[in-house]
């Protein structure tokens, strides 16, 4: 967890820096901003699947963390040297591949460091630590944007990634035995057997749960609708947030934009601190997260002046907390039900949704305006809500 703090600061600062560098130094338009976000998210799909397979195959995780942090830091040092939009795109894609190498490792290390019964609180703590770093990064961006140039800020980001690599090399230890995810399978089978026995013994009282399809889903749960819901949730978030800095730059200064995204990260970080217990019930958490985002997006149209800035600040903060609820509930649900060797599949679906959303967000904003983009994002979250409803249909518990 300690190794994630410096790189978290760098991630929070650099994600917005890349957009500002494209929009200001290279004079990119909103479509290019969306295209950049889409390409970097799209490359996460094969990257997450490959790194997830590799970590499960090698069963060593510290080397992947160190490699990821060093490679990402090097790329961040090179970004200010880009003199054209294509050069920036290439560097950003390499950065995305390098950063993806750490994602499966941190998830597996967390899973193997905690008992299954405390996974949700453990993942919430993990994300809280990293989210704290990202919030600090945006705070640094807000405080230093008028003093330091973009080049100096990128150097700072690279140095922070190198610091994370050093911490990982010194303190991270690979688990001697990979057992927790296997124990989950044993526990789930025993629990399923008990549940099915109770249903069959009381078939008259649970007629709707004792059909052939319901019993089959109990013993062999499928994640089809859930994965489509994850895809839509990521798509809606990327379609909204990829053009959002450009949208806010029409009304506020760069430092104020940093402050707005600081609010989002602050809400996200505090959300991870609070959702460990709430996310225990996946159905309620996922339905609530999708519904809240669907309803809150239109409020972002109220911008301009102090009242608009305050409203946007509050909405982004709450939406950050909603993402924390979704992230913990969906990640733990996937790890509980997915087979070994497929740990990267969740990230791949999320990455594919983020890629499609980034491309659509930029294209729609460029062609039809931000109002249409916000309406489309609300619709996508409505679809995500429907997918989660279908995933949990016939479930006995909320």
Long-range CB contacts (within 8 A, 24+) of 210-218: 213/394, 214/394, 217/394, 218/192
| pLDDT tens-digit readout, 371-384 | 899 999 999 999 99
| pLDDT tens-digit readout, 231-246 | 999 999 989 988 888 8
Radius of gyration of the chain (CA): 21
High-pLDDT (> 90) share of the chain, %: 17
Decide: 316 and 16 in contact? Cβ < 8 Å.
Answer: no
Mean pLDDT of 322-331: 86
Decide: 312 and 267 in contact? Cβ < 8 Å.
Answer: no
Q: Does the pLDDT of residue 207 top 70, yes or no?
A: no
Name the residue with higher pLDDT: 337 or 274. 274
Q: Give burial (CB, 10 Å; 0-12/13-18/19+) of 179.
A: exposed
Q: How confident is the model at residue 329 (pLDDT cuts 50, 70, 90)?
A: confident
Mean pLDDT of 13-30: 83
Residue 288 main-chain phi, psi, to 5 deg:
-65, -45
* pLDDT at residue 91, rounded to an integer: 93
Q: Does the pLDDT of residue 17 top 90, yes or no?
A: no
* pLDDT at residue 190, rounded to an integer: 47
| pLDDT tens-digit readout, 315-324 | 899 998 888 8
Mean pLDDT of 184-205: 52
Could you tell me the domains of the chain? 4-178+216-391 (1.20.1250.20), 187-215 (no CATH)
Lowest mean per-residue pLDDT among 84-98, 229-243, 358-372? 358-372
Q: Does the pLDDT of residue 189 top 60, yes or no?
A: no
Decide: 89 and 39 in contact? Cβ < 8 Å.
Answer: yes
Mean pLDDT of 105-112: 76
| pLDDT tens-digit readout, 46-62 | 887 788 778 877 778 88
Name the residue with higher pLDDT: 190 or 16. 16
Strand locations in 310-384 (E): none
User: Which tokens belong to 12?
Assistant: 């929070």
* pLDDT at residue 180, rounded to an integer: 45
Which range, 44-48, 91-95, 130-134, has the best average confidence (pLDDT)?
91-95
* pLDDT at residue 220, rounded to an integer: 55
Which range, 31-40, 181-190, 250-259, 321-330, has the best average confidence (pLDDT)?
321-330
Rounded CA-CA distance 381/159 in Å is 38
* pLDDT at residue 186, rounded to an integer: 44
């Amino acid at each position: 967890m300690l190794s994630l703090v410096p790189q978290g600061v760098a991630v929070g600062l650099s994600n917005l820096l890349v957009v500002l560098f494209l929009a200001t130094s290279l004079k990119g338009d909103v479509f290019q901003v969306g295209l950049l976000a889409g390409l970097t998210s799209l490359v996460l799909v094969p990257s997450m699947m490959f790194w997830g397979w590799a970590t499960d195959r090698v069963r060593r995780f510290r080397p992947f963390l160190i490699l990821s942090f060093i490679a990402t830091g090097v790329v961040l040092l090179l970004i200010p040297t880009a003199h054209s939009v294509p050069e920036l795109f290439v560097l950003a894609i390499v950065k995305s591949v390098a950063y993806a190498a750490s994602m499966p490792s941190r998830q597996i290390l967390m899973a193997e460091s905690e008992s299954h019964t405390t996974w949700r609180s453990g993942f919430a703590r993990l994300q809280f630590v990293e989210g704290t770093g990202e919030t600090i990064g945006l705070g640094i961006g807000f405080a230093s944007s008028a003093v330091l140039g973009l080049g100096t800020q990128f150097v700072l980001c690279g140095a922070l990634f190198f610091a994370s690599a050093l911490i990982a090399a010194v303190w991270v230890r690979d688990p001697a035995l990979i057992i927790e995810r296997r124990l989950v399978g044993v526990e789930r089978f025993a629990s399923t057997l008990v549940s099915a026995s109770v249903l069959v013994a009381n078939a008259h009282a649970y007629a709707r749960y004792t059909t052939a399809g319901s019993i089959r889903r109990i013993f062999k749960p499928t994640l089809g609708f859930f994965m489509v819901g994850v895809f839509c949730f990521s798509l809606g978030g990327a379609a909204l947030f990829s053009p959002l800095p450009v949208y806010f730059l029409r009304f506020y200064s760069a430092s104020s934009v940093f402050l707005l995204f600081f609010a989002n990260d602050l809400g996200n970080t505090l959300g991870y601190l609070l959702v460990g217990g709430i996310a225990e019930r996946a159905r309620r958490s996922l339905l609530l997260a999708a519904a809240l985002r669907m309803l809150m997006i239109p409020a972002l149209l109220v911008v301009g002046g102090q009242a608009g800035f305050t409203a946007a600040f509050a909405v982004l903060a709450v939406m950050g907390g909603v993402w924390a609820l979704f992230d913990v509930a969906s990640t733990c649900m996937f790890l509980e039900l997915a087979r070994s060797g497929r740990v990267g599949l969740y990230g791949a679906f999320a990455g594919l949704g983020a890629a499609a959303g980034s491309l659509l967000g930029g294209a729609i904003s460029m062609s039809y305006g931000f109002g249409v983009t916000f309406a489309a994002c609300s619709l996508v979250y409505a679809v995500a809500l429907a997918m989660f409803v279908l995933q949990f249909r016939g479930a006995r518990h909320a």
